[in-house]
Structure 1
């Protein structure tokens, strides 16, 4: 479903930063596998494979259903309520975390056994 304006998506909302807001703020282990962006307000959270699973939690608590990838080269939209993929409009830049930031990230905080800690 491609549209210029979709309820729950604000193309002008800028990302909240370069990493998961909650992980960086001390909620959880402090690292993530992949990042997701709220398409309504720009909140950056970690994906459901990450220990914190903050992006989906934000979507549900804020009632902002659409998440999009915040990974380089990915441009899909996911509706956390209906669990369906969508096409959506271009969002305000940046559209991914900095290329210098490793995945998983952030650099220096990812444990050696990170693969065992994924969901």
Structure 2
């Protein structure tokens, strides 16, 4: 990661957490479907993206304050900071 142009939340990461399972646990609980998955870089939980009906990753951010998620989609390598609305590839 280019440390000069990225926000403090992204530059503070020392390792990237990956999805342990490729499911949204919250969608499973409610019988909902998801479109794409995102893994929280603070706690490691994986939730559905904003294209999904329930937007659990964003809800997790608002509830927990955990600022950064990584795409949990195969072949995608990027991070998103909710606080600074910044994306960066890795």
Common fold: TM-score over 0.5: yes
Superposition misfits of 4+ residues, deviation over 4 angstroms: none
Tell me which of 23, 27, 40 is aligned to 1:23: 27
Distance 1:86 1:12, change over 3 A: closer
CA RMSD of aligned residues (A): 2.3
Identify the structure with the greater helix proportion. 2
Alpha-carbon deviation of 1:57?
A: 1.0
Residues in 2 aligned to 1:25 and 1:10: alpha-carbon distance in whole angstroms:
32
Identify the structure with the greater strand proportion. 2
**Structure 2: which 5+ runs fail to align?**
4-9
- Secondary structure in 2 matching 1:52: coil
Equivalenced residue count is 84
Residues in 1 aligned to 2:41 and 2:49: alpha-carbon distance in whole angstroms:
14
Residues in 2 aligned to 1:51 and 1:16: alpha-carbon distance in whole angstroms:
22
Distance 1:61 1:2, change over 3 A: farther
Cα deviation, 1:42-74, whole Å, max 9, x if unaligned, reads 110000010010011112211110011000100
Cα deviation, 1:8-60, whole Å, max 9, x if unaligned, reads x463756353200100111xx51101111111111100000100100111122
Task: Give the TM-score, by structure 1 length.
Answer: 0.60
